[in-house]
Chain A
Amino acid sequence: MKKIYILTSLLVIPFLSHAASAASQLEGSFKVGPAIILISILVLFVMVGILFRAKDTTDFYAAGRGISKVGSGMAIASNWMSAASFLGMAALMYGTGYNGLAYVVGWTGGYVLLLILMAGQIRKYGKYTAADFIGDRYYSQSLRAVGAIIAILISISYCVGQFAGIGLMFKWVMGIDYTWAVIIGGSVVLCYTLISGMLGVTKNMQIQYVIIIISFLIPLFILSYKFDYFWLLPQIGYGSAVSDAISGIPLAETNQLVNSLGNSFAIVPVPEFAMPWDTATGKTFFQWVAIAFSLMIGTAGLPHVIQRFYVVPKASDARWSVVWGLFFICILYWSAPVYAAFGKLLSANPEVGQLSPDAIVVYTAQLGSVHPLIVGLLAAGGISAAFSTVSGLLVAGASAFSHDLYVKVINPDASPKRQLLFARLGTVLMAIIVTIIALFKLALIGQLVAVAFSLAGCTIFPLFLLGIWWSGSNKQGAIAGLIAGGTVSIIALSYFIAGKMGVSWPLHEFVDYWLGAWYFAWIGAPLAILANIIVSMLSKETPLEIRKFLIENVHS
């Protein structure tokens, strides 16, 4: 016991002595202005949800297929711009410099693959969910069930990061404990999803996109203007801030600028912020490449992303919605590194102490003395980002639970009313599981979300890629691919969870490095594809009706 006390003292006392505490000063207590903004936005979301609520299962799953390509692009962007994009990406760049850019590249570059390899074909295939596609294409109810379970696992994994982000922002706005913040925030997003379903979600996503992007951009203009960088286009103007971080800012050149805590805008040179795979960050070239690759193929395998292509009327709309979606996404992704750069400069003084990287977007605005109401809007934008993604994920998970597991496997005669009931039951169950996991704070938001990408890259991506482009891929091949990808996933995630629980398994250093939880798809996906091809070639040919469907409907 004494040892634990001494160890705790050693770890905690130096931290406390430094942080007397800037972090707690920035956190503060209940913030009235931001709380009003947040509540207003949430009320708006729920009202839109009620106005456009799902009337039947087609509405719930696929919004009646009546969304335009620009609207769908906005929904894709909103669906995509999660807490990981809004809060997590700046956190990763703030903490690991150039390595964080692997996430920027990974989370955008994947859309190129998604578009040219899948988007139009997925729409032409005409199914509601990823598991639907897998079950039909590989003519197997068991694979449909497995696909549904994987979709649920991916959705849960993805949601955990979002709930963590919601918790952080609710904590900041309300000045309450993180646990309660997660529970309250989670309950609100659950209620909203239950009321609205996908149609409300899609409409809401367009509104959420506008709120997210405005709230994210306004502080950037203010920060760039205040600290004398090219403010008309902060996404370019911050280049000089990056260079300043590399060379350092002498006290004589700060023009007496200070952060909100009174620290000078001076900084010693920190080239590790921008130099590639710097030893100071502990990240390597391999990790950069593995993260970018895993995130890109994961993008093309995420059920809730794939599902967005079912809600446009035609295949060409699906394609154009990706272009629009990517453009809208990039506006945020060009901007997130600006927060990391300013965050680095404004928190450089050791007096600021250790700040939670996941909240660095909000802290940066605060340290830059941005008006509290605008910071409040920023926090509300972060919550909106998490909300828009969570609602899409819960719908995707609920679809997998109700449509793919219950209706297609367990009870094919279920009435539409009963299907909807099960969809809602699935949503509640998922939200409870996610809330519990989010309370453990297993990793940074961006990293938690990246786990879902690797999982999708190892399992769903190979099935879609080969299922669409090679009629030779058959049921046996799909099973072999899933076993290969699934095995890699289980090994990587088991070691990750064991490590978090303080258990040190044999070869843990090797596995932790080469099969890191956020990038194990770099090897899992190629192995799954290879296994699928080899076994397919060695086993019975794909049935004629499937091949015929591929030619006549998907590639016609």
Chain B
Amino acid sequence: MDKSPEKYHISFFVPTTARAKANRNMVLWLVSIWFIAIFGFQILLRVLEKPIPETTFSIFQSVWDNTISDSPGIVELQEFGKTTLSVLGKVAITDSERAVLDNALSWSLYQLTADSLKEDLVIKIQAFEKIKLEIQTISDPNYIKAKELLSAEYSPSLNLDPLDVRTTILPLELVSENIYKLTETARESVPSIMEKYLIHNQSFLTDTKFLGFPFHYFYTAIFLLVLFIGLCLIYCIKTDQMNSKLSIED
């Protein structure tokens, strides 16, 4: 800082005393570490990432064309139904996307059901829908019983393993409305919904595990906060040291 009587002037980048210079250098170091640690890592994450599909997406891609053809195969319909369940089990999906996938799932199950049992399927779904609207809590015994019966009866149609978590989702997502057809909306939007939910940005930074975390998650959620405290600590200690060295009382 320029302390001449006629021109007092202070600028962070142009220090004029040893103390100010030392402070500037320390601040620049700390800010650089701070900046690179936060944004440098995110940029690295962005540069390295690649869109990696879940296995479910590959299955979906392999069966979709056949599924929407005039004569879909049984295996294709089963796999398609299972892929819709994989997405329906994700908490994040919106109500409109859920409605589309519910239609796709219900339609695929309807297609897989023998003609003589199709009517029965619709009746059972409608009965369960009625129960859902009537119950006060989801602990209602009638509701639980109906849900379990529906799951037990129709999971095999989709070739779902009894220990597959999707068996618990199946009864909740069956809808009777438009069960006879895959709606135009569904035909148009199912591929994009699948792409949206089943492809993820991944790299070795996301795939490497550290203390149980995906590494990038640990770095951002845990390490950066430790670093911030560390940077603050260093600044305070160094500043106090500088002040005592120069006998500055503040």
Given the known interface contacts A239-B218, A249-B165, A351-B172, the answer about A105 and B224 at a Cβ–Cβ threshold of 8 Å is: yes
Residues of A within 8 A of B236 (CB): 115, 316, 319-320, 322-323
Q: Mark B232-249, 1 if CB is under 8 A from A, else 0.
A: 110110011001000010
Instruction: Confirm or deny: B36 has a beta carbon within 8 angstroms of a beta carbon on chain A.
Output: no
Instruction: Confirm or deny: A263 has a beta carbon within 8 angstroms of a beta carbon on chain B.
Output: yes
Whether the Cβ atoms of A550 and B8 lie closer than 8 Å is yes
Whether the Cβ atoms of B197 and A551 lie closer than 8 Å is no
Whether the Cβ atoms of A322 and B89 lie closer than 8 Å is no
Taking chain A's interface residues, is the majority helix, strand, or loop, or is none over half, making it mixed? helix
Partner of A348, one of B91, B102, B202: B91
Instruction: Confirm or deny: A180 has a beta carbon within 8 angstroms of a beta carbon on chain B.
Output: no
Instruction: Confirm or deny: A350 has a beta carbon within 8 angstroms of a beta carbon on chain B.
Output: yes
Instruction: Confirm or deny: A243 has a beta carbon within 8 angstroms of a beta carbon on chain B.
Output: yes
Partner of A236, one of B102, B137, B164, B212: B212
Instruction: Confirm or deny: A153 has a beta carbon within 8 angstroms of a beta carbon on chain B.
Output: no
Residues of A within 8 A of B56 (CB): 269
In the complex, the chain A residue whose C-beta lies closest to that of B87 is A268
A-B contact sample (12 more), CB < 8 A, given A251-B164, A349-B168, A551-B8: A17-B132, A101-B217, A104-B225, A108-B224, A120-B239, A230-B212, A236-B222, A249-B165, A270-B89, A316-B250, A348-B89, A550-B8
Least CB distance from B158 to A in Å reads: 14
Interface range on chain A: under 10, 10 to 19, 20 to 34, or 35 or more? 35 or more
Residues of B within 8 A of A104 (CB): 220-221, 225
Interface residues of B in 46-81 (CB under 8 A from A): 46, 49, 54, 56
Whether the Cβ atoms of A272 and B42 lie closer than 8 Å is no
Q: Mark B193-215, 1 if CB is under 8 A from A, else 0.
A: 00111011110001001111110
Taking chain B's interface residues, is the majority helix, strand, or loop, or is none over half, making it mixed? helix
Instruction: Confirm or deny: B157 has a beta carbon within 8 angstroms of a beta carbon on chain A.
Output: no
Given the known interface contacts A236-B222, A274-B214, A316-B240, the answer about A322 and B232 at a Cβ–Cβ threshold of 8 Å is: yes
In the complex, the chain B residue whose C-beta lies closest to that of A94 is B91
Stretch at the interface among A50-58, A160-168, A326-334, A523-531: A326-334
Whether the Cβ atoms of A116 and B27 lie closer than 8 Å is yes
Whether the Cβ atoms of B88 and A350 lie closer than 8 Å is yes
Residues of A within 8 A of B45 (CB): 276
Residues of A within 8 A of B235 (CB): 115-116, 319
Partner of A550, one of B10, B95, B167: B10
Least CB distance from A534 to B in Å reads: 16
Whether the Cβ atoms of B20 and A555 lie closer than 8 Å is yes
> Can you list 10 A-B contacts with CB-CB less than 8 angstroms, sorted by A residue number?
A14-B99, A98-B217, A267-B89, A275-B200, A276-B46, A276-B206, A280-B92, A319-B236, A334-B225, A470-B11
- State the 4 A-B residue pairs at the shortest beta-carbon distance, nearest first: A239-B212, A239-B213, A268-B89, A240-B212
Instruction: Confirm or deny: B18 has a beta carbon within 8 angstroms of a beta carbon on chain A.
Output: no
Instruction: Confirm or deny: B231 has a beta carbon within 8 angstroms of a beta carbon on chain A.
Output: yes
Whether the Cβ atoms of B216 and A276 lie closer than 8 Å is yes
Residues of A within 8 A of B26 (CB): 116
Residues of A within 8 A of B221 (CB): 101, 104, 334, 337
Q: Mark A544-556, 1 if CB is under 8 A from B, else 0.
A: 1001101100011
Instruction: Confirm or deny: B135 has a beta carbon within 8 angstroms of a beta carbon on chain A.
Output: yes
Q: Mark A502-526, 1 if CB is under 8 A from B, else 0.
A: 0000000000000000000000000
